Structures are given as C-alpha cells and as structure tokens.
Amino acid sequence: MNTNIITTDNFTRSWIEQVHTRSAALIKNGFQATLSGKIITTCFFEPSTRTRLSFTSAAQRLGASVLGFDSVTSTSTTKGESLEDTIRMVSNYGDVIVMRHPEAGSADRAAQVAGVPVINAGDGANQHPSQTLLDLFTIKQGIGRLDDFTILMIGDIEHSRVVHSLSTTLKLFNNVEQLLINPLTQDYKPHLNKADIILVTRVQTERFTDKHQADLLQNSYKISLQDVEAMKPTCKIISPLPRTSELPTNIDAVPQAYYFQQASFGVPVRAALLENVLGVW
C-alpha cells in the first residue's frame, strides 16, 4: 500500500504491475463497493475534465462519496488562505485528498501537512503520477507489452508533466527507446515508422510567459492522415487530452488512434489506485 502518491520517483515495476492487474480485474469483473463509507475529497485549484471526473466516477463506482471543488475561485484561497491551511482543513472532511494545483511542488507541500493520504493529480509542469499509471496501462493494452518498444513523444516537451512523469517511469522497463521531439527544433516525421507508441501532447499555453512562442509551437505540428500512413499498422497514438489542433478529428477513426480508449481506462486505473491508497489491497 502506498500512503501518498506524489511523484513517479517512488514507483516500482512490481507495484505498477499490481495496479494494472487490479485495473484489469475491475474491467473484467466489474466494480464492488470496496470503499463504502469512505469520502474522497477532490481539490482542483486548476481546471480538469478527465482526471477529476474519472477519479469521481471511480470513487462512486467503488461505493465512496465525493466532495470538493473544481475551481480556486470557490475556495478561501481568494481570501488569502494558504495552501497548507486549506489542506489542513480539508483533511478533516475526507479519507483521501486528490489535488491538482498550478504550482510545481504543491502536492509535496500538501502531503507534509495533510492528515490523510494525498494523490497528486498534477502539480504545474512537474508531475502527474496517476496519468503515468494510466499511460502505462494503455500502452500494455494497446501493444501487449511494457518492454521492448519505441515511444515517440511529440509536442510541448518542456512544459508537459505527462511527458516528465512517463519518461522517468519508462526507465523501469527493459529496452524502451524514447524519442522526445519538440517540433520547433526537430522534425518528427522521420521517426513515425519507428514508433510502437506515439504520445502527442498539446501546447501548455497557460505555462508560457511568451504567448508568441506558444503560438509558434502550436502551429509547428499536426498529425495528418499522411503521417498515419507512415506509421506501423500496429502503432497506437495516445494523448492525455484535451486536444487542440495537434490531433485533428479526421484521424479519429484510423486504427492507430487510441486516445479515446485511453481516456476510458482512467476510471479502472484510478479506482485501483484509490483502493491501494486506502488499504483495500
């Protein structure tokens, strides 16, 4: 059992495989009320659709209740309350805190004062550990293995907590070649036919101080049908979503497109994570 889930640095291969085994069992056998009587508190100081709702769905499917907020404007932070004081208060109201915050290191700060386990649902451009568990599960489901493959990551590499978390964790597996491409400085097209997995991330415009640079990066890449033709037939395109122009809708129906399936895996993976943090397994 892991008490806090703050960074992928603490992940082990065996623990990841246990999470995935439990996730697959939930998909196969359905959800039971293993968290009946528990309360999950979601503290989202930054916008989220998939992460917040998949945690909420997972908790409710396991019989837990959910409370929290999805905007900083609805909290006493607007009155000057510190993050630490907010977390101290929230610790009184639930059994685990799922938190997203725009500042790197904020999840660790929260864990230092929380009276209950904290799950980092994204701290700025730093870490997104539950997304890494989801990405790895998606890769396993998509190509059948977590060893001996090549992954091409395209997009806003510098600001992507998804890339940072996943890239570090992939080092736990054998013979994984990682190709990280910023399209402004390197052409991704020559690598398309090498990849078993292609991770495409949006430009994190909210993390740029120079919006012109964000626009330049945004306009530098778009996965086209011609790009898809260059890929292996067995390749899978994944993305944490949301998307803007980098994944046009005209590729959604190609066999390589796997990002919506990926999003659907968020519920069982995060359900398994909640069970682990709360001592079910």
Q: Cβ–Cβ contacts within 10 Å for residue 66, how many?
A: 18
Of 28, 73, 79, 209, which one is the catalytic site residue? 79
Q: Is residue 50 annotated as part of the catalytic site, yes or no?
A: yes
Q: Is residue 51 annotated as part of the catalytic site, yes or no?
A: yes
Of 20, 22, 38, 50, which one is the catalytic site residue? 50
Q: What is the DSSP letter of 245?
A: S
Q: Cβ–Cβ contacts within 10 Å for residue 264, how many?
A: 12
Dihedral of alpha carbons 272, 273, 277, 281, sign: positive
Of 22, 100, 159, 270, which one is the catalytic site residue? 100
Distance CA 258, CA 239 (A): 8
Are 115 and 153 within 8 A, CB to CB? no
Q: Cβ–Cβ contacts within 10 Å for residue 76, how many?
A: 12
Q: Is residue 145 annotated as part of the catalytic site, yes or no?
A: no
Dihedral of alpha carbons 213, 105, 165, 21, sign: negative
**Residue 41, phi then psi, degrees to nearest 5:** -105, 120
Of 7, 8, 42, 51, which one is the catalytic site residue? 51
Distance CA 16, CA 123 (A): 21
Q: Is residue 34 annotated as part of the catalytic site, yes or no?
A: no
Of 128, 159, 202, 270, which one is the catalytic site residue? 128
Q: Is residue 189 annotated as part of the catalytic site, yes or no?
A: no
Q: Which residues are catalytic?
A: 50-51, 79, 100, 128
